[in-house]
Structure 1
Amino acid sequence: MPNIPWPNGAKIAVNLTFDFDAETLWLGRDPTNVDRPGTLSQGTYGAKVGVPKILELLADERLPATFFVPGWVVENRTHIVEKIVKADHEIGHHGYLHKSIDPNGLEMELEELEKGTESIKRVVGVAPVGYRAPSGETSANLIRLLTERGFIYDSTMLDDVEPYRHVLEDGTPGVVELPWHWSMDDAQYLLTSIKFHRPMATNGHVLSIWKAEFDEAYLSGGYFDLVMHPQVTGRPSRIRMLREFITYIRKHDNVWFARSRDVATAWLKVTNTPSDGPIVSPFLRRNAEGIISQR
């Protein structure tokens, strides 16, 4: 659905999103990491340094963002999550312990969903309306589960470049999908550890890819979803990189920076039926606020 009529005549909607996993990125991946303080300290950095630096940058730039936070992080890094909420950023659902879904044990998906929701409601005081699956791993049950629980959107799928609406098996409209891609995820280029080793890209390489992706999204008049992690982009040189990227985006007219929930809500207002969006993946068939920037 190119050339979406975004609010106030915006040409493109830009989501700055942060997966605030803290230590769960390593605990959910491998429970034995609980005895590896060096490995866990990467997640600790995200809470201790990364998020505060990101919040400072967002305040300087006067930009809204969405933070997808596991329930464990909400419970154990509460004072940092409260700072995110106080700054009027969105808290999205990101599981409970950042566990990847096992197709042979789908009860874990429901447990992660319910425990994460309960934690956010109890600690933050609001019910999350958006969800992003840990590590992008999900099941055919997820969209139904989210729809039944009153979620507005999901941001897990990689099957499009524009938002679309899921349709359940019985034809019931499901949640809006805000798609993403690994090419716009900082972890793909910059995340490493002793047990999870891969070479790190230079900041210039990452920035060049993000600029190229944004350029094409802007030309089509659509949507741009940037996925970042405080323990990755929260490093000093990468904060500078993100600030440079924001400056680059702002050189373009009519860019709408918005929280994910605002994008999903706005998209629902300009579409009439689920069929208005792209065809959903076969296995899934069984208050618009933000900032417009102009030169």
Structure 2
Amino acid sequence: MTYDLSPRPLNPAPKTPPMTWPNGAKSALFIGFDVDAETAWIGNNPSNVDRMVTTSHGGYDARVGIGKILELMDELSLKGTFFTPGWTALAHPAACEGILKAGHEIGHHGYLHKLPERERLEEAFEEIDRGFEALQNVLGVRPVGYRAPSGENFPELLAYLAKSGIRYSSSFRDDILPYRHASHNGIAGPVEIPVNFAFDDWNFGMSSRTSPRPLFGREAVLPLWIDEFEATHDWGGVTTLVLHPQVSGRPMRWHSLRDFLRHVQSKADVWIATGQQIANHFEACEAVSPSI
């Protein structure tokens, strides 16, 4: 494959149109969970399927993590978006049904959590189709939001997502406000609710025996999250969380997450919303003031 390395903005999306947050809020908080379960360990490394201790990291989701996260969200009367691979729904239907019954949004997160590759378009599209099919069969839902497995995307995939009914993505790292992806081959791109890498709990709370890296405790993570949130709030942006039940569903991290969410709730001017609610609001603002 020939790569175009000519100097240009590699994301051609236009800037965010003028927008304010609902109800006089100064900023927004988007609580997003990636319910990877075992797919985090087998999607890009299928040989791990025979390494039961390795995959038990992901098995924590259905055995403990999802339930504890749902308890926390109920305790704080919060709703979030749970990006769920199709494989996870098929393997752990009861745990995933609990998410839906609790009133949370289900998002698309591929089928087997495979990294999307531009050189393998049909495989990338198949991951989308199989994910939709599994979520429909198990949960009776067809998501409108998508988070890229392993956090990657490309123009053809964005167009395929939009054509398939995905209205918003939450994967890119290049803004603090939502924006509309540029059209590709005449297909308007989805809305992007961008992510701040500082709020990905995997960076601080997950390691493995084959690729060890340090774990970071409460004294490192909670002040970082609070400081980053406060600065984003001051700038009027959206704080997007990338959380995993197999990480933040662990005891100490669960308490740290609760304290962070309580801190956000203590402010009267933060709109805490699901991905679909944020996308709806962006589209309403976009209709009044198109992107520049």
Q: How many residue pairs are counted as aligned between the two chains?
A: 277
Q: Does 1:79 align with 2:97?
A: no
Q: Secondary structure at the match of 1:174?
A: coil
Please tell me whether residue 267 in structure 1 is matched to residue 282 in structure 2: yes
Post-superposition offset of 1:213? 1.4
Q: Report deviation, 1:258.
A: 1.0
Q: 1:184 to 1:3 in 2, by over 3 A?
A: farther
Quote the Cα distance in structure 1 between the aligned partners of 2:288 and 2:18.
17
Calculate the aligned-residue CA RMSD, in Å: 1.7
Task: Quote the offset at 1:232 in angstroms.
Answer: 0.4
Q: Do residues 186 (structure 1) and 186 (structure 2) align?
A: no
Return the match for 1:95 from 110, 118, 121.
110
Kindly indicate whether residue 42 of structure 2 is the aligned counterpart of residue 24 of structure 1.
no
Aligned to 2:253: 238
Following the alignment from structure 2 to structure 1, what is the Cα–Cα distance between the partners of residues 38 and 271?
32
Q: Which residue of 2 aligns with 1:289?
A: none
Q: In the alignment, which of 115, 123, 131 is matched to residue 146 of structure 2?
A: 131
**CA distance in 2: counterparts of 1:136 and 1:275, whole angstroms:** 28
SS of equivalent to 2:287: coil
The answer (yes or no) to whether the contact 1:26–1:33 under 8 Å persists in 2 is yes
Is the Cα contact below 8 Å between 2:35 and 2:84 reproduced in 1?
yes
Residues 185/235 of structure 1: CA separation in 2 closer, same or farther (3 Å cut):
same
- Alignment partner, residue 211 of structure 1: 226
Give 1:251 shift: 2.3
Deviation at 1:104, TM superposition (A): 2.4
Kindly tell me: are residues 273 and 30 of structure 1, through their superposed partners in 2, closer, same or farther at Cα, counting changes over 3 Å?
Answer: farther
Aligned partners of 2:214 and 2:289: how far apart in 1? 42
- Is residue 118 from structure 1 mapped to residue 133 from structure 2 by the alignment? yes
Question: In structure 2, how many angstroms separate the alpha carbons of the residues matched to 1:168 and 1:215?
Answer: 33
Q: What's 1:146 paired with?
A: 161
Give the distance between the partners of 1:274 and 1:34, measured in 2 at CA.
50
**Of 255, 265, 268, the match for 2:270:** 255
Q: 1-side partners of 2:211 and 2:108: how far apart?
A: 25
- Which deviations, in whole Å up to 9, do the C-alpha atoms of 1:147-170 show, x marking residues without a partner? 111211011111111100112135
For the 8 Å contact 2:28–2:273, the answer to whether it is kept is yes
Conserved 8 A contact 1:3-1:222: no
CA contact (8 A) 1:15 1:257 kept: yes
Tell me the TM-score normalized by structure 1.
0.90
Question: Residue 86 and residue 59 in structure 1: after superposition, are their counterparts in 2 closer, same or farther (change >3 A)?
Answer: same
Distance in 1 between the 2:154 and 2:179 partners? 18
1:21-67 per-residue CA deviation (whole Å, 9 max, x = no partner) reads 00000011311111111011110111110110000000000000100
Displaced runs of 4 or more, over 4 A: none
Q: Structure 1 residue 254: deviation in Å?
A: 1.6
TM-score, normalised via structure 2 length: 0.90
2:191 aligns with: 176
Contact 2:162 2:187 in 1 (8 A): no
C-alpha separation in 2, matches of 1:273 and 1:175: 18
Question: Shift of the alpha carbon at 1:275?
Answer: 5.0
SS in 2 for 1:141: helix
In 2, distance between residues paired with 1:124 and 1:30? 27
Q: Is there any run of 5+ residues in structure 1 with no aligned partner, and where?
A: 278-295
Shift of 1:241: 0.2
Is the contact between residue 166 and residue 173 of structure 1 (CA under 8 Å) also seen in structure 2? yes
> What does the per-residue CA deviation read over 1:103-157, in whole Å, with 9 as the maximum and x for residues that have no partner?
3222211010000011111111121100011110222211101111121101111
**How much has 1:3 moved relative to structure 2?**
8.0
Distance 1:55 1:183 in 2: 23
* 8 Å CA contact retained: 2:18, 2:289: no
Take 1:37 and 1:54, find their aligned partners in 2: how far apart are those partners?
Answer: 24
CA shift for structure 1 position 273: 7.3
- Any stretches of 5+ residues in structure 2 without a counterpart? 1-15
